[in-house]
Structures are given as structure tokens and as C-alpha cells.
Amino acid sequence: IAEAAQQRLLAYDRVGDQHYEAASAFIKSMRGNDPDAALYWLASMVAAGEDPTFIARRIVIAASEDVGNADPRALQLAVAAMQATEMIGLPEAQYALAQAASYVASAPKSNRAGAAYFAALAEVEEHGRLPVPLHLRPSSHRRLAREQGYGRGYLYPHDYADADVDQEYLPDALVGRVFYEPSEEGLELKIGERLARLRRQRLEARRAGGDPG
């Protein structure tokens, strides 16, 4: 039995189909909220001699891509596990890999940050980079820049309630465009509530026509 098991492990090709199949199963188990399956595929890769830093990188990617702002601690733990793996190597790094993989698999999930980024990237790729609004450009000692109004009218958010003030940051052609729509998972629920509150306050300030903060 032991010899047969060893032969199965030796059949694992770190650059072949089994390498990618096991990695795919590992990633999808973390994404699918199944820590048991994630730990199984982690163990299968380690036992087969997979590069532990390759495994650690997959955990870091999953922490950002699949957990995201629903639980930012997942990325911190995943990066720490990768650093630990690089510092101490196997066999001790198995503890860090198991801790990070089980945490990422168990954490609330959101891909909204990544989806928002790629929506913004698609906008840039389709229309090119649009001009930066004058009030967001750096103030300059150059006469021409001053005459053109660089930095003029910029409102410093920390001077206002909630460190927020009603002013535009997107290019003129994209005013009102929303890329990031937080989910209702984990911490991202609170992020969404805060953004919604700030948007309401800005709208009320515009309607009142008074203090922009």
C-alpha cells in the first residue's frame, strides 16, 4: 500500500496537468467556502512535492480576488503566510499555509473591488485617459499653470465633517459614474453604508446650495 501511494505521489507532475488540476481545485475550494476541501488539496500538493511558495501565492491571490474588502484581514494573513513560507520553508511552513488557507476559505466573500477596478480599466482602454480636472492638478509655481487655474478651488476634505466634502474627483465626462458597489458581506457591508451616507450628504448639500461639507 505504501509503495502504491508513493507511486501516485511521484506521478504528480509539477508542470503538468495534475499540477494545474490540484491548484485549480485548491483555489475553487477556498472561493467556495469549503475549508475542508481546501486543506485536502493543500495537503495533496505538499505531499506531492509542490513548491510551497507557489501554494502561498495562490492563497494571496484568493484572499484579494475572492475575499477582498469583505474581510481585509484575509490578505494580511495570506501575505504573512507567504513571508513565513519563504523564511522557514517546509515542513514548518505547513502550519502557516494551513492557517491561511482555512481562514481564506472560511471568510466572507466579495469580488466587488476587483470587478470595479476592471470596469474602470475597461473605461480607460476604450476612451483613453481623460484630462484631470483643474482643481485636482498640483499647484505649481509655473506662471502658465497658475494662469490656467491648476489646483484652484480644491477643497481639503479634512476641513469638513466626516472628512468629506462635495467635490468631483472623476474626469468631467465621467461625473456620476459608479464603479465600486460594495457587497453586503462582512466589513464591506459597513463600507457600503458609509459610502451611501456620504453620497446622501453630498446630494443634500447640493440641493441646499450651502456649505459643501
pLDDT at 211: 53
Residue with cell 467556495: 32
Residue with cell 472560511: 106
Could you state, in chain order, the average pLDDT of each consecutive group of 10 residues for the chain (213 residues)?
Answer: 52 67 97 98 96 98 98 99 98 98 99 98 96 88 65 90 91 94 97 95 80 52
pLDDT at 150: 77
CB 114 within 8 A of CB 64: yes
161, three cell numbers = 465633517
- Give the pLDDT confidence of 89-148 residue by residue, as tens digits: 999 999 999 999 999 999 999 999 999 999 999 999 999 999 999 999 987 666 666 666
56, three cell numbers = 502561498
**Domains in the chain, start-ordered, CATH in brackets?**
2-106 (1.20.272.10), 112-208 (1.10.3710.10)
**What is the spatial distance between Cα 42 and Cα 46, in angstroms, rounded to a whole number?**
6
Q: How many CA atoms are closer than 13 Å to the CA of 7, on its beta-carbon side?
A: 4
117, three cell numbers = 477596478
